[in-house]
Structure 1
Amino acid sequence: VALLNHMVTGFYATGSYPKRMGTAHATLVPYQGFKASDRDVIIAVANDGLWKKLCIGLEWNDLLENEKYKLNINRVKYREELVTILSERFSQMKSEDIIEMLERVGVPCGPIQTIEEVLTHPQVQAREAMVEVNHPNVPNLKVPAFPVKFSETPTSVRYHPPLLGEHTEEVLLEIGYDQESIKQLKSKNII
């Protein structure tokens, strides 16, 4: 629920379901992914101060001075128009240039990475975010490790992802079925 904080709050406040918006944020603009000339980048302008920094950092004085875009409430109102303008401009730039210019002025941003890039990222490697487990069908299977690292009580992944039906009998016994009932379910191809 924490990841959906603004959506949950909006639902309780209005009773209406949030619309699908891809990477965009419903109440902040621009706060989404954009296509640069070489790859996608994510830009998180969470307030009017960051909007000003974005415009200054990219030397987009025309947007900075446009009254329609000074306040986030208006950027949300004119979302489609503004995102179209930003998309066109970002598409003409290299991602590393966008990121460098925005990081210099303190606007949160970064490349949208592929799964391979994420998995081979030095920080992912250093945090041992992926671990190898024994699996009966997949040699050297790598799975996500427990994400929190405790210095005094280390965690581990003890089991492989279960095979289809691997624990069915065990679960049924645990919830009260006896061996005869399980045998009948098997004979009827229910399990």
Structure 2
Amino acid sequence: MSVNSLPTRIQNDEIVPIPLERESYFYRHSTVKFTFELKNVDNIIIKHSACGMLFLSDKRLMFISDDLNEKFQTFHIKLADIVSSVRSASINFFRNNNNVFSVTNKLRNGAVVNMAIEYDPEDQEDKRIFEDYYGMLITWTSKIPPVTAKNKYFSFKKQTPDQFEQYEPPPPPYST
């Protein structure tokens, strides 16, 4: 998870994230109010909120503020870093209403990120589309084992005490 370090570019007079290698975008919506609260393993709490554009890809959830002169400009979190994601009715950012998507994510490094995304009341269908994509992508990425030095390109299977066989890991459940 990173704050104010999302690489961006201008495309069609809009600021958009620069995609990662083989990253596919599923969702984009403007304007939402995005609020997050990070509690890291040292119990340090960081909280930011801004209005801007929300992006969801098969690898990341990203936010770019409308006002890039503010302290909080961008946010992104890799979906593969999320160990658990639990929807919550309210995380004390907003009153409980149908315009807000609230979720608590536990990350691989032990940190906890509470996020709330508030939509305009007329954007309920867009909120439901985001919820569907987010749920699908979180489920899919949680089934892919984390990339480690051992399984980055191949894994080893011991044949005999002094011999190893190289083999390719199975492909993801589907590709985009």
Give the TM-score, by structure 2 length.
0.24
Structure in which a larger fraction of residues adopt strand: 2
Structure in which a larger fraction of residues adopt helix: 1
Q: Which has the larger radius of gyration?
A: 1
